[in-house]
A = this chain, B = another copy of it.
Amino acid sequence: MTATNAYSALNERFGNYFRLLAAARILYWDSQAYMPPDGVWARGEVMAAVEGAMHDLIDREDAGELFAAAESGRDALSAVERMNLPQMKRLWADAHAVPKELALKSSRLSTACIAAWREAKANDDFASFVKPFEEYLAVFREASEARAKALELGGVLYDTLLEEPDAGPGPATVHTVLRDLEAALPQLLAEVIERQKSWPAAIPFSGDFSAERQRELSYKLLGIVLNDPRKSRIDVVPHPFTLTLSPGDVRITTRYEPNIRFAIMIAMHESGHALYESNLPRPLAFSSVGLARGGTMHESQSLMVEMQAGRSREFLRWLAPRLKEAFGGDPACWTVANVLNTYRRVGEGFIRVEADELSYPLHMILRYKLEQALLTRELAVKDLPGAWSDLSQKLFGRRPPNDAQGCLQDFHWTAGLIGYFPSYALGAALAAQYFERAIADDPSIPARLGEADFTPYRAWVKPRIHERASTAHFDDIVRDATGKSFSADAFKRHLRRRYLEEPLG
């Protein structure tokens, strides 16, 4: 068998694997947005059957041979194919890295742990969560060790859980950037809080926040960011996410809620994810190499839209009168000065997803430190609330009033998403690095954002980030786009500028 034939056979299988993944995604989307309540009992079975079929596609007996044949003739492959091959191989290796029994046990304990978490959070009762979480954590650790061994990933276990070496910045950069932020941000946060003491109290947003009006505004914002109504739609779910079925069908989901300050930015954030996905190259759809370049890159694109562009003075100046138009209510709350005051205000609340731009990465650092300690057993589950509270004091200068607003606020750990939080903080930092360079390359961007015109913004990100998909390594994309390796420098400059220098109004 020639290398090209072997590659084609693999590529076809993995293509169908990704097509089935799209089917799994629509099943999930439907379960969150539209499924009648009595559909629950069977939906899990249907999802499992699709996942089983995905597994069957890639974990075939002849896969090892095909990979060997394709690798032995790499020179016959194109550059894109040579990028794709190891990514397919990694998926294949991952598919059987954890013994089936162990994977099933882990999945079962995770389900129980999620249920216990939901209950514990609702009742602010951490004690009831200790045992299920301990049990799940033990089997999660065991499965992760088995995976690390099978994939021959050496070093510290936590590092093997950070993004794949080929998909993201890699463990060394993750640790460097987070340590840098941990050293700089608590002090900066304290300075900004001090500065904001002289500001007038922000007037709470008020008006008609009905689902209908929120829906209209969300579609307007999505239209501004994406500029292509044929590619997307918005649906309402309990926990917003963005869903890609193909580059022609990227859906955002949102939640219409009384906290309108937050709801507006959900729409911007998810539109940023959608813009990335919609610009991925169609000829590479349904292949590894056609995917977005990992979690950090993805968060950089949502946060670049939400935090860099969406919370820029220019865009907020445009937005303020539109919010007044959309919601009515007290005109005083929709002045530019008050909208800026609202979106610049830092150091309030304890909830990660609602955090201000400055506290946001500190939330991730808190979780990043505690999840490592949990994984190495340095920290016992029962001691988590105390450790969370102490670290909050150190990073934010205050403690959450209870566990529901503290260590019980996120579902991630109960679902095995240990090692994922860092990508949110790194995404924020990378967004700043991109945006700083984008403005240098095209100084018209801010003024155009002031007219709600994302055209030059899109023109900058599309060829440099989105269209490259996974055909280049993370570092190469960052360096080609910004001329520098990834670091927290631009982000720190950005935060000082926006929060210590920029005036209100």
Contacts and interface: CB of A to CB of B under 8 A. Distances in A.
A34 interface: yes
Interface in A1-49: 15-16, 19-20, 22-24, 26-27, 30, 34-43, 45-46, 48-49
B286 A248 contact: no
B42 A248 contact: yes
Interface stretch (A230-238, A264-272, A334-342, A494-502): A230-238
A19 B41 contact: no
A193 to B, nearest CB: 43
Contacts of A37: 230
A285 interface: yes
A155 interface: no
B286 A249 contact: no
Q: How many monomers of this protein are in the complex?
A: 2
Interface stretch (A52-60, A100-108, A402-410): A52-60
A245 interface: yes
B27 A42 contact: no
Contact of A23 (B39, B50, B245): B50
B42 A20 contact: no
B39 A248 contact: yes
Given A20-B50, A23-B49, A26-B27, A35 B286 contact: no
For A26, A231, A251, which residue has the most chain B Cβ atoms within 10 angstroms?
A26
A230 B53 contact: no
A173 to B, nearest CB: 34
26 contacts: A19-B46, A19-B50, A20-B46, A20-B49, A22-B42, A23-B23, A23-B24, A26-B27, A26-B30, A30-B30, A35-B249, A36-B229, A36-B232, A36-B249, A37-B230, A38-B228, A39-B231, A39-B245, A40-B248, A42-B246, A42-B285, A43-B249, A46-B245, A50-B50, A50-B53, A53-B57
Given A16-B53, A245-B42, A246-B42, A231 B23 contact: no
Contacts of A38: 228, 230-231, 248-249
